[in-house]
Amino acid sequence: MKKLAVLVSGNGSNLQAIIDSTKCGILKNMAKVCLVVSNNANAYALERARNEAIKNLYIKWRAFEDDSFFDREILKQFQNLKIDIICLAGFNRILGKSVVKIFDGKILNIHPSLLPKFGGKGMYGRFVHEAVIQAGEKKSGSTVHFVDENYDTGKIIIQEAIDVLPEYTPNILAKKVLEIEHKIYPKAIKKIIEN
């Protein structure tokens, strides 16, 4: 049984999809979410974790002099709980080099586009969907990839595409892509465990 940590800054619907898949989906008897960490005290993801009796932490990013202090704190949590896989699910910070190095090949991120298109710094949430529509793309989708030291450049694990219809607004596209995210994130975790 692999131990998962999920890092999230917002609502946590992907967190919920992962939790649900460990209880009665494709990750049942394979993985368990043991830790949820947020850098946002008001993230609904923390409430989701409490509802599931999962250890959850709010770590104030700005409470530390520099990012290395945050990284040391988060590493301590991962190591104390013997975390196997770290899942970024709408986590709006880049992890430090020390964390990425220690957990190389064990940190996943989900991104709301077909990387390498529409990735990089500043490309998250509605900004991605606005850019996709503005560019006149015929396809969009979601990507789960390994985390490296840069934004959205790690090796791709899984992608799924959808058609972008002419009547789609950024909000409609966001909703369609989120549905894909909920399906492919557990699949990506399963691939890593089986590998």
For the chain, domain boundaries: 2-113+143-159+183-194
pLDDT in tens, 172-189: 999 999 999 999 999 999
∠ CA 99-5-193 to the nearest 5 degrees? 95
Q: Is 129 a catalytic residue?
A: no
**Which of the residues 111, 129, 145, 182 is marked catalytic?**
111
Task: Please state which CATH number belongs to domain 2-113+143-159+183-194.
Answer: 3.40.50.170
**What mean pLDDT do residues 26-30 have?**
97
Strand 156-163 versus strand 139-146 pairing type: antiparallel
The residue among 27, 4, 6, 19 whose CA lies nearest residue 194 is: 27
Roughly what angle, to the nearest 10 degrees, separates helices 126-134 and 170-194? 110
57 sits in which H/E element: strand 55-58
What is the structure's pLDDT at 52?
Answer: 97
Q: If DSSP codes are grouped into helix, strand and coil, which group holds residue 19?
A: helix
Helix (H) or strand (E) holding 38: strand 31-38
- Is the bond into 116 cis (omega within 30 degrees of 0)? yes
Q: What is the pTM of this model?
A: 0.94
* Token pair in block for residue 165: 């219809």
